[in-house]
Structure 1
Amino acid sequence: MKYEASSPDDYISQLPEERQEVLSKLREVINKNLPKGFEETMSYGMIGYVVPHATYPGGYHCDPKLPLPFMNIASQKNFVAVYHSGVYAQKELLDWFVAEYPNYSKRKLDMGKSCIRFKKMDDIPYDLIGELATKLTVDQWIDIYETNVKR
């Protein structure tokens, strides 16, 4: 679901009440753990964490006017999603996340290329998402992006 929001706070305020707490907690965990240099913004109609143009002037190869995306969180129709570009672009990070997930959740991992879906709000592994947020610095993400994604 896409919301017309001007800020992360505005986005969360538009969500159904039961999703506001979940997205607020995800946002708090990510902001607490994300390495310095990433910037929180609205990106693709979701709360996004990006490498700003001041750090990476070339921006995103699909649309250089946009900053380089890294993570997003969103309330979708049937689930809450965490999008993490690093798990898509770096196999070692994906393998780590898949191996760790059962230590934090009793439910089966529901994941696409970069999308981690949570249909049950009571079983979101906030500590694991926080740890995932720490795994790549801005410089590491730029290097992975330039090596594996930008061609």
Structure 2
Amino acid sequence: MQIKADSVEEYLAKVPEERKGAFARLRKTIIENLPSGFKECINYGMVGYVIPKSIYPDGYHCDPSLPLPFMSIANQKNFLALYHSGIYADEKLLKWFQQEYPKHVKTKLDMGKSCIRFKNVKNIPYELIAALCQKMSPEDFIAIYETNLQKK
């Protein structure tokens, strides 16, 4: 269930009532903890946090007209999702997150490659997400991104 929206405000207005509070708190946690340089926008049908082309003119290799995506949050059919490209690109960061998660939440981590699913919004570890946001600057991500691109 993707929300169709042209702006962050429109997206937020369309989040189901039972998830609105958790989504707003998750968004606030991200905004307050991401290092400067990231920009909030609608990206791939989600609320995204990107490295703007003013910082990284090359853009996203899949579509260079787009800014470099870093992190997104989305309302999905059965869960809220947090997508974090840094976890996907940096194995050390992934291991840190996997080790820290059980210290914050009693339920099992439900995670894909870069997607963390929160089926019960009462189990969102906001403090852990705040710490995750602080761990990678735009410059850090650009360096990892370019290194991984060269490997392909």
Shorter-normalised TM range:
over 0.9
| Paired residues for 1:42-121 under 5 Å | 42-121=42-121
Distance in 2 between the 1:3 and 1:19 partners? 13
Distance in 2 between the 1:6 and 1:95 partners? 35
Distance in 1 between the 2:100 and 2:148 partners? 24
Q: Is the 8 A contact 2:71 2:84 kept in 1?
A: yes
SS at match of 1:136: coil
Residue of structure 1 equivalent to 2:129 = 129
TM-score by length of 2: 0.97
Structure 2 residue runs of 5 or longer lacking an equivalent are none
SS at match of 2:148: helix
Q: Is the 8 A contact 1:89 1:149 kept in 2?
A: no
TM-score by length of 1: 0.97
Residue of structure 1 equivalent to 2:147 = 147
Distance in 2 between the 1:22 and 1:9 partners? 16
Distance in 2 between the 1:105 and 1:42 partners? 29
**Paired-residue identity, %:** 56
Residue of structure 2 equivalent to 1:6 = 6
Q: Which amino acid aligns with 1:109?
A: L
Structure 1 residue runs of 5 or longer lacking an equivalent are none
**Count of residue correspondences:** 151
Deviation at 1:62, TM superposition (A): 0.3
SS at match of 1:47: strand
Q: Which runs of 4+ in 1 moved over 6 A?
A: none
Residue of structure 2 equivalent to 1:31 = 31
